[in-house]
Structure 1
């Protein structure tokens, strides 16, 4: 055995002594020395170097050299190409193995295979997709920093040569936004890791891919949309995903607008579904659901409900529970968006203007066309009031749609409702803006009246829908902002004392009073078509403020019978299709809905963002309280006792339902 001879020679070499001994005497190749070597020693050497012993499995993972792993990987891929799959399947198994199992390779060994595969990515074409998918989906994010860097390096190499895997890689990373990887998915040679660090690693990897591949964002947008949680997923899943995609928008600015629009679109769908589900509920049940949502908001443990309790619920109780959880989910998401957007607006930089432009675009494309949206639009309501310029921008966006004759009829009606509701309810809307919008509405109302009055035979919602929408917006706006329409000598709004002790008529801004009178008593008769709750409240306030006296007309309108004009359907393009304007029974089908998008916001957790922005309805000082006709003696007694108190405070209690009950789909 040559190797044994060489080894023995190396160990037995000595330096010649002074006695002149020859090195030859110590040479183990000498036949006589070999013969004198004990047989047991020769046997031990033969066993230690027996060529039949398999030394491929090593106890020390570092003993497997990188060169050996390179050769292993190369041979496995090449043999796979000719149909031999054993070594190839072994490679796949290494990456598919759960790192928490005893048979899983250590991270340091797996890193060597990852390094070797990075040097052979040119071989990982479509025929090797099984191996590539196993690598992409392996448990990498909770391992040590060195392995994570090597994993990112492999992805860069792979995508630079095999770009066909781009969608798979991005889908895998985005999927972690929906379901976070376990922090325990690591080997014993990996240090412990915290959950925030796991999330940060996913974003670092995605950011790195976006930076190195110019086309990556094109593939990322569809992945973000397709992975978004389903509407019936829980609040925790939605919040986790939305928080992550908003973070993506920070380092992928080219997708920022699409990400904001995606979140708004999904939020509107949840909002609308809640309104549909609650449509058939009684008022007391709605109040109970809101109360439950408040309790859950305080609790913040609504996700930890036992499965056993669900099994014992009957279908109706289960339905109410589902609605309550949906309300809580919507509330949590709204609070998240308010908080995220507020940090951007607080910086008062270019990003704030860019974000507001995105919100306006979302309003025009998603929120405005959705009739049953109840809460999502309050994002616009809040951030439009962060500056006077943004207030005018939002009011301009609403008026542009409301007065555009080329827009669909239903869209113009809804835009008018948004405009009137925003100006009426916005606490930071200046008196000058109120007057400017009131002037604008009056101007277009006069144009509509001049156009249609000559051919009008009777009030007709479907034929003159835009006219009635503008009329109702004016009536609603008057009920909330009448004080800003009164002209005083000092130019300041009148005080409560000025209202109570005014002897003569008030002086009203511009020609407001005359325009409203001319239209109310026209053939178009808007008080017959507008929502009765708004008409009644306007009549009381207008009479008390000596603005107009319309009670005789209201009594006359009670005897007017409305009928649908069969020829008017073509005007709005809706034909016989059921819409928000005609999905009612009886004469109500010919009346305008009391729909004002910014009626009181009731979601308990996110409501705090609107407390200083919202203008609640306040009664006119000195206006008598009108009792509601009700057979309930207790309510009568309560109202009677209240009437003895201060008139202003009492009115605030009794008539606050102008806002609370004016939206058909209100919570």
Structure 2
């Protein structure tokens, strides 16, 4: 039994009458929509064409137009059973091409309701509905500029929250949907050669990563989404040639070039204007806000990926995501020709969790190098990555470094004993790569190792003499600048002497080192050389070891003062034990400390007596290598 009208107040009676009018209006619209759908298959299709025109109209809608559009979309959602792909193809095309970025929240909600209804009504619409939602990952071109302003950011939040909710809702209604979503995302992913605007590329990757971490991420394929992001980074990376970034003098020691880069980075931080090309020592360098478009996109994509990895760490998912990242690294990055920056994604992930990810990565690389089932170039690339990682990772403990070096030294020693063939650089290139890796790491880490008594005893016990002084003559093949720095530090630490007599004699630098691994071969690479991307470098720098920060074993003998204390090694274990990456305020303190160290410390290694022995000009100091003109291929060994 209903309530008598007399029991309503006059205001409530008016509200009820208005609601009845709306219901009647909505009913009329639903009836009109169904009639329009039926008319599509007849000669009298004016109503159908009018409906399509209504859905096309999206600019400067009046309130009554918005109300009509919302009602029509809702009516269509309730009449999906009447929609036929044969007779209503133009209507479906219009719906699937509607951009949520063009409408108010009310229209967005009605449109999402229609898309969900279509996806759940028939399997033949699932792909089109998913594709429509993925297309809304990014705005139309006319909205890109608005993303710089608060109203644009608000619009972005309104759209993307609804898109991802709809994807999850459809996945719950249609079990097939998650498996269909991945290929659609990959197909719609921006390509490096499409010249897509930077905000569009970045936003699409943000949505891919958001999907990876969502409730349906595992169903969609977390691993493949991570791999797709890394693939995109590599695509942008290899498209940017080193000539676009800097031009190097291949005759110059590669650590010397690193020190110049550090000075320029430090000086350029105080420059407000930014220059396209900075002239330093006759070298053209690309800096700041006028770098190439692709370099800017890559830098922004790296930052987005870093932020996502940090969120994974905070949510306890980093170890899980790291396994996907590691697999992607092995497939995509490890053997990528000319990869310059994309590898810093895994470096950053390791810095967030050194005890799990850092150790896992180091052991992973060591396993590849030692395993003979991998191709020689893959093993050489792995040990180059390993050497660079152990040398540059500020977050890695000295104990881990010694343990990994022990594995490399043992393999090299076993290899020497099994080889009876004559000196042949090409035949033994994996061995030479291992020797060079060991020396490279010790150039960075030897002082920190010998300062710890139990680790010093371990390193003294390594078969370094057996590895370096044998019939394969690795000192004649490895890069001369690495060999010279290693010899100088090893002599100072009394590491490779026998009865006070050096073991090296005239085994350094020959025609083989020049032709095979030296300055005439420009493909040698150390993958974690200083990152030259501005925004990305701010995340890498607090956890990175620069050559100028390294204490050498010979520095005290050369008269370094007490003020030249280790900038980096005393903080290694502290950095490795932090649970949350870089502490608040740590980066600023670090940058101040780093900049100060450049002023206080010698910015090039001390001259060695070796330079005279091997015919070097006395005005040319020996330099430690960080990179040759870096085309970034492991082929030189």
Whether these two folds match at TM > 0.5 is yes
How far is 1:518 from its partner?
A: 1.9
**Corresponding residue number in structure 2 for 1:260:** 226
**Corresponding residue number in structure 2 for 1:270:** 236
**Corresponding residue number in structure 1 for 2:10:** none
Output one character per residue of 1:526-551: Cα deviation in whole Å (capped at 9) or x when no partner. Answer: 12221222122222222333323365
Q: Is the 8 A contact 2:240 2:294 kept in 1?
A: yes
Output one character per residue of 1:105-137: Cα deviation in whole Å (capped at 9) or x when no partner. Answer: 712122332233223312322211210121233
* Correspondence for 1:341 among 294, 309, 315: 309
Cα distance between partner residues in 1 of 2:286 and 2:440: 38
How far is 1:664 from its partner?
A: 2.2
Cα distance between partner residues in 1 of 2:335 and 2:131: 31
Cα distance between partner residues in 1 of 2:266 and 2:138: 24
Cα distance between partner residues in 2 of 1:121 and 1:538: 74
How far is 1:523 from its partner?
A: 1.8
Cα distance between partner residues in 2 of 1:546 and 1:289: 31
Output one character per residue of 1:564-620: Cα deviation in whole Å (capped at 9) or x when no partner. Answer: xxxxxxxxxxxxxxxxxxxx9888699695421112222222222223322233233
Tell me the SS of whatever aligns to 1:178. Answer: coil
Q: Is the 8 A contact 1:533 1:594 kept in 2?
A: no
**Corresponding residue number in structure 1 for 2:540:** 610
* Correspondence for 1:470 among 425, 430, 434: 434
Q: Is the 8 A contact 2:234 2:339 kept in 1?
A: yes
**1:324 and 2:258 aligned:** no
How far is 1:470 from its partner?
A: 0.7
**1:525 and 2:495 aligned:** no
Cα distance between partner residues in 1 of 2:311 and 2:604: 39
**Corresponding residue number in structure 1 for 2:461:** 511
**Corresponding residue number in structure 2 for 1:206:** 167
**1:117 and 2:65 aligned:** no
Tell me the SS of whatever aligns to 2:137. Answer: helix
Q: Is the 8 A contact 2:380 2:433 kept in 1?
A: yes
Residues 369 and 587 of structure 1: CA distance in aligned 2, closer, same or farther (over 3 Å): closer
Residues 522 and 318 of structure 1: CA distance in aligned 2, closer, same or farther (over 3 Å): closer
Question: Larger radius of gyration, structure 1 or 2?
Answer: 1
Cα distance between partner residues in 2 of 1:352 and 1:223: 26
Residues 365 and 389 of structure 1: CA distance in aligned 2, closer, same or farther (over 3 Å): same
**1:247 and 2:210 aligned:** yes
Residues 108 and 610 of structure 1: CA distance in aligned 2, closer, same or farther (over 3 Å): same
Aligned length: 524
Q: Is the 8 A contact 1:294 1:605 kept in 2?
A: no
Cα distance between partner residues in 1 of 2:48 and 2:408: 74
TM-score norm. by structure 1 comes to 0.68
Tell me the SS of whatever aligns to 1:263. Answer: helix
Cα distance between partner residues in 1 of 2:224 and 2:466: 47
CA RMSD, Structure 1 to Structure 2 (Å) = 4.2
How far is 1:288 from its partner?
A: 10
Cα distance between partner residues in 2 of 1:531 and 1:143: 62
Cα distance between partner residues in 2 of 1:445 and 1:109: 77
TM-score norm. by structure 2 comes to 0.71
How far is 1:437 from its partner?
A: 1.0
**Corresponding residue number in structure 2 for 1:135:** 95
Cα distance between partner residues in 1 of 2:334 and 2:310: 22
Tell me the SS of whatever aligns to 1:661. Answer: coil
Stretches of structure 1 that go unaligned for 5 or more consecutive residues are: 1-60, 185-190, 306-315, 494-506, 563-583, 626-644
Cα distance between partner residues in 1 of 2:430 and 2:79: 68
Residues 477 and 138 of structure 1: CA distance in aligned 2, closer, same or farther (over 3 Å): closer
**Corresponding residue number in structure 2 for 1:486:** 450
Q: Is the 8 A contact 2:369 2:383 kept in 1?
A: yes
Residues 319 and 435 of structure 1: CA distance in aligned 2, closer, same or farther (over 3 Å): closer
Tell me the SS of whatever aligns to 1:605. Answer: helix
Residues 329 and 157 of structure 1: CA distance in aligned 2, closer, same or farther (over 3 Å): closer
**1:443 and 2:410 aligned:** yes
Cα distance between partner residues in 2 of 1:657 and 1:100: 66
Aligned ranges for residues 75-90 of structure 1 at < 5 Å?
A: 75-82=35-42, 84-90=44-50
Q: Is the 8 A contact 1:121 1:158 kept in 2?
A: yes
Cα distance between partner residues in 1 of 2:444 and 2:465: 19
Residues 137 and 297 of structure 1: CA distance in aligned 2, closer, same or farther (over 3 Å): farther
How far is 1:198 from its partner?
A: 3.3
* Correspondence for 1:553 among 467, 486, 506: 506
Cα distance between partner residues in 1 of 2:599 and 2:25: 91
**Corresponding residue number in structure 2 for 1:30:** none
How far is 1:474 from its partner?
A: 0.7
* Correspondence for 1:457 among 422, 429, 437: 422
Q: Is the 8 A contact 1:595 1:662 kept in 2?
A: yes
